[in-house]
Amino acid sequence: MFSEKNAFQESFKKRLEQSYSISFNDSTRAQQFVTLSQMVREHISKEWIETNERYRQGKKQTYYLSIEFLLGRLLGQNLINLGLYETLETWLRDIGIPLEELENVEPDAGLGNGGLGRLAACFLDSLASLGLPGHGFGIRYKHGLFEQKMVDGFQMELPENWLRYGYVWEVRKSDLAVEVPFWGSVDVVERKEGIKFRHVDAEYVKAVPYDIPVIGYGGETVNTLRLWTAETSSFTLNQDVLKYKKETEAISEFLYPDDSNDDGKILRLKQQYFLVSASIRSILRQHLNNGGKLQNLHERVAIHINDTHPVLAIPELMRVLLDDYQMSWEDAWHVTENTFAYTNHTTLSEALERWPIRIFRPLLPRIFMIVEEINERFCKSLWEQYPGEWERIEKMAIVAKDEVRMAHLAIAGSHSVNGVAWLHTEILKNREMNDFYQFSPQKFNNKTNGITHRRWLLKANPELTALLTDTIGDGFKKDASELSKLAPFAEDSAFLEKLWNVKLKRKEILAKRIFEQNGIKVDPTSIFDVQVKRLHAYKRQLLNVLHILSLYNKLKKEPSFHMPPRTFIFGAKASPGYFYAKRIIKLIHSVADLVNNDPDTKGIITVVFMENYRVSLAEDIIPAADISEQISTASKEASGTGNMKFMMNGAVTMGTLDGANVEILEQTGPDDIFIFGLKAEEVMAYERDGGYRSMDYYHHDSLIRRTLDQLVNGKLDDEGLFDVIYDSLLAENDQYFVLKDFEAYRIAQEEAGRIYEQDPERWRKMMVKNISGSGIFSSDRTIKEYANEIWNI
């Protein structure tokens, strides 16, 4: 199909005309996109089947359970992995079709929100590219999170209709649907062989799988991402059919429904059990069909829990082994504990899920019984280790204080618990999960996150990819560690000039998109200072925008003050119920209105907020960045992966010693990164012992005082919109140390501007150092570590 130009072009035209009953000359880009994508999917069907057949031969397989998979667009990535991109780009251009326009037709799959989901997508790519047997399980959200629209600077949330016209990459597998029970009660049946449990009067939801091929680089391995959608099962005579249909379909309608009330909590818990119940039975069915035995499940299957959302997989596997296959508790627990591994993604206690028993028990009656039994046995083992230490045992218990603690269940039921950056893992071991670490130190390990360079370099930055290929060969495409070969070229002035021209080209591409989307003209020769990520207080977009406001004030007050022109670019979604974060988005827009429209600062400072941040937008923003803002409060960011993407594309990190920034510093050295602010141990000491008074910084620093006063004096708003931000920094003592780090941040930013403007050769050498040191952050490296040290695949 793709081996000869004329044959491909004729096949493409014929297929399009037959599919749509329209002449090729009248066809739309959308019709052309679907036709090409269908041809690609059919092209890999043989490898997809052969991959699955290969795994039937007894190979141990990994199943990655995640509430999010942020895939991005797949057409271009699939063609790159198949080695067909440049060929088809030429062949399609010959018949008047720009491949880039077909790529832009494809919607971003609405299956995730931020780093958690993007990491899961990168991991699937690396598993397939390394030829490893690893598959994903998630939920096929009809609307995803939300589509962000900005109205007068306020975030508005609209349904994300990414499935409006179907999804060309998926294959519905109705024959593999399973029934998932909720509510009801549990009958205890006495039988000769022992007590049996039976779920009665349950309300069943049908989980229907849709399979998406995950094409590895080189096209030899095609793994599977299986997504479940919720559909109605059979009705009972007394059932309110419309209510049942609405509640059922809601399970797979939105990612992260608002859980500020009980209905939202119930829906979230339903989603989580729906995902794991369907996935566990799918995994067991495949294991048994491949000749496996239940007793050796852990020898042939590894199940990975990505954060706490899929933790109910642990009691669900116990339920199936106990109730459906009559395995003893001891045998079932041995299999379960050795099958599961858990990744923690946060040091924030509020992100470690806890479910009220009053909601958990009635919704999942049998699962709650099993969780209670797991808790009883776990607490007994704690008692044997720590006799008399009731306070410690209650603190570590899975069920306590009228709630179920999901992270505790994950640790107790897994053989491996890992953090996602060296610092994060050390904080887990020594602070957040220290009791568990002391009890089971052998479970804890670190696996620093990674990114798939095939998307974030090869696909997102073809200009840089071409330059690297010409300079060091193409070995880095398969093995990112070969990027280290670039290091000597930091002394090659001709290469540095080419690298700078590539960056300028990418900045021009982004500038064009900014003008088209925002109507703002930006100077591609200005510093592109970028912070794009989920909007959360600990990520400190607030520190960034307050610094911008302070620069504006300085320019207005001091005519002699000079700074190189700088374009500040933001992209972020705030959770719909996160009022404070949404106020920060409004503040960014208010500051943008102020500085962009002032003739005294126009052209010196430009502020841009790009709405609806997503993978395809990131692919334009990240290659264009000069400065990568990674300024979270030290100790709060588990890892970050945006920092790695920027680094790989030649941006220089402006960051705290938090998350993977610590390891980025190890690769670049202190001269090729801008590190500022409190260290993790200093933040934790302040949190533990006190001693920080944000009001002192307000009173003793005139720059801070003037900047904060503008939040409430009518300069930016006369309706009190930003009172909540002002109060959080002063009346509530600045939980995330924005004011404490402000001066250090200002100095680091000043130094970055000085080098960029006055020593361009040094800046270009910094770019080389970052690119050449980024190979270690390939998700291929991360997955090899998981495969060898946790999954044994």
Q: What residue has token string 């004011």?
A: 739
Return the active site residues. Answer: 345, 533-534, 539, 641, 645
Amino acid 717: pLDDT: 86
Query: For the ranges 248-262, 400-414, 676-690, which has the lowest average pLDDT?
Result: 248-262
Average pLDDT over all residues of the chain: 96
**pLDDT tens digits, one per residue of 118-154:** 999 999 999 999 999 999 999 999 999 999 999 999 9
Specify the 3-state DSSP secondary structure of 118: helix
CB 189 within 8 A of CB 323: no
Ramachandran assignment for 79, one of left (phi > 0), alpha (psi -120 to 50 degrees), beta (any other): alpha
Do 37 and 152 fall into the same domain?
no
Amino acid 190: pLDDT: 66
Residue 193 pLDDT greater than 70, yes or no: no
CB 629 within 8 A of CB 544: yes
- Please report whether residue 204 resides in a domain: yes
Identify the CA nearest to 353 among candidates 307, 305, 417: 307
Residue 242 pLDDT greater than 90, yes or no: no
Query: Chain centroid to CA 647: how far?
Result: 17
Phi, psi of 196 (to 5 degrees): -120, 150
Mean pLDDT for 368-382 is 98
* 549-553, long-range: CB < 8 A, 24+ apart: 549/591, 549/594, 549/707, 549/710, 550/703, 550/704, 550/706, 550/707, 550/746, 551/605, 552/591, 552/594, 552/595, 552/598, 552/601, 552/605, 553/703, 553/706, 553/707, 553/710
Ramachandran assignment for 394, one of left (phi > 0), alpha (psi -120 to 50 degrees), beta (any other): alpha
∠ at Cα 448 (443, 450), nearest 5°? 135
Q: How many domains does the chain have?
A: 3
Amino acid 192: pLDDT: 59
Do 49 and 38 fall into the same domain?
no
Do 501 and 596 fall into the same domain?
yes
- Please report whether residue 522 resides in a domain: yes
Specify the 3-state DSSP secondary structure of 327: coil
The Cβ of residue 478 has, within 10 Å, a number of other Cβ atoms equal to: 14
Do 582 and 655 fall into the same domain?
yes
Do 544 and 587 fall into the same domain?
yes
| DSSP code for 175 | G
- Please report whether residue 557 resides in a domain: yes
CB 141 within 8 A of CB 230: no
Do 89 and 60 fall into the same domain?
no
Amino acid 59: pLDDT: 86
C-alpha–C-alpha distance, residues 493 and 514, integer Å: 31
- Please report whether residue 14 resides in a domain: yes
Last residue of a domain, one of 107, 123, 158: 107
Identify the CA nearest to 302 among candidates 263, 261, 336: 336
| DSSP code for 488 | G
The Cβ of residue 786 has, within 10 Å, a number of other Cβ atoms equal to: 27
**pLDDT tens digits, one per residue of 315-329:** 999 999 999 999 999
Residue 237 pLDDT greater than 60, yes or no: no
C-alpha–C-alpha distance, residues 12 and 27, integer Å: 12
- Please report whether residue 8 resides in a domain: yes
With bands split at pLDDT 50, 70 and 90, how would you rate the model's confidence at 559? confident
C-alpha–C-alpha distance, residues 664 and 776, integer Å: 9
C-alpha–C-alpha distance, residues 252 and 666, integer Å: 42
Beta strands 399-400; 416-419: pairing state: unpaired
**pLDDT tens digits, one per residue of 595-631:** 999 999 999 999 999 999 999 999 999 999 999 999 9
Residue 76, token pair as written in the block: 């271009």
Residue 256, token pair as written in the block: 């992260």
- Please report whether residue 410 resides in a domain: no
The Cβ of residue 166 has, within 10 Å, a number of other Cβ atoms equal to: 8
With bands split at pLDDT 50, 70 and 90, how would you rate the model's confidence at 57? confident
Phi, psi of 532 (to 5 degrees): -130, 120
Residues linked to residue 402 through DSSP beta bridges, in sequence order:
none
Residue 123: enclosing H or E segment and its boundaries? helix 115-129
Ramachandran assignment for 635, one of left (phi > 0), alpha (psi -120 to 50 degrees), beta (any other): left
Phi, psi of 508 (to 5 degrees): -65, -40
Mean pLDDT for 536-564 is 96
- Please report whether residue 776 resides in a domain: yes
Sheet containing 354-356: give its strands across: 354-356, 403-405, 399-400
Do 180 and 237 fall into the same domain?
yes
Do 353 and 249 fall into the same domain?
yes
- The residue type found at 119 is L
Last residue of a domain, one of 107, 133, 160: 107
- Please report whether residue 54 resides in a domain: yes
Do 28 and 120 fall into the same domain?
no
Q: What residue has token string 């780093």?
A: 115
The Cβ of residue 57 has, within 10 Å, a number of other Cβ atoms equal to: 8
How far are the Cα atoms of 119, 126, 469, 476, 781 from residue 778, in angstroms, in the given order? 11, 9, 17, 10, 6
Residue 104 pLDDT greater than 80, yes or no: yes
Amino acid 196: pLDDT: 76
Alpha-carbon Rg for the chain, nearest whole angstrom, is 27
DSSP result, 504-562? HHHHHHHHHHHHHHH-----TTSEEEEEES---GGGTHHHHHHHHHHHHHHHHH-TT--
Beta strands 354-356; 403-405: pairing state: antiparallel
Beta strands 134-139; 222-232: pairing state: parallel
Amino acid 229: pLDDT: 98
Helices (H), 386-491: 390-396, 406-412, 422-427, 434-439, 453, 462-472
| DSSP code for 202 | P
With bands split at pLDDT 50, 70 and 90, how would you rate the model's confidence at 238? low
Amino acid 718: pLDDT: 82
Residues linked to residue 571 through DSSP beta bridges, in sequence order:
532
Amino acid 674: pLDDT: 98
Q: What is the CATH number of the domain that holds 162?
A: 3.40.50.2000
Do 765 and 624 fall into the same domain?
yes
With bands split at pLDDT 50, 70 and 90, how would you rate the model's confidence at 200? confident
**pLDDT tens digits, one per residue of 730-779:** 999 999 999 999 999 999 999 999 999 999 999 999 999 999 999 999 99
How far are the Cα atoms of 154, 459, 514, 590 from residue 517, in angstroms, in the given order? 17, 22, 5, 18
Residue 115 pLDDT greater than 70, yes or no: yes
Do 554 and 601 fall into the same domain?
yes
| DSSP code for 145 | S
Domain that holds residue 684: 453-689+735-783
Do 127 and 25 fall into the same domain?
no
C-alpha–C-alpha distance, residues 669 and 645, integer Å: 18
Amino acid 357: pLDDT: 98
How far are the Cα atoms of 104, 514, 596 from residue 518, in angstroms, in the given order? 18, 5, 12
Q: How many CA within 13 A on the CB side of residue 216? A: 23
Residues linked to residue 354 through DSSP beta bridges, in sequence order:
405
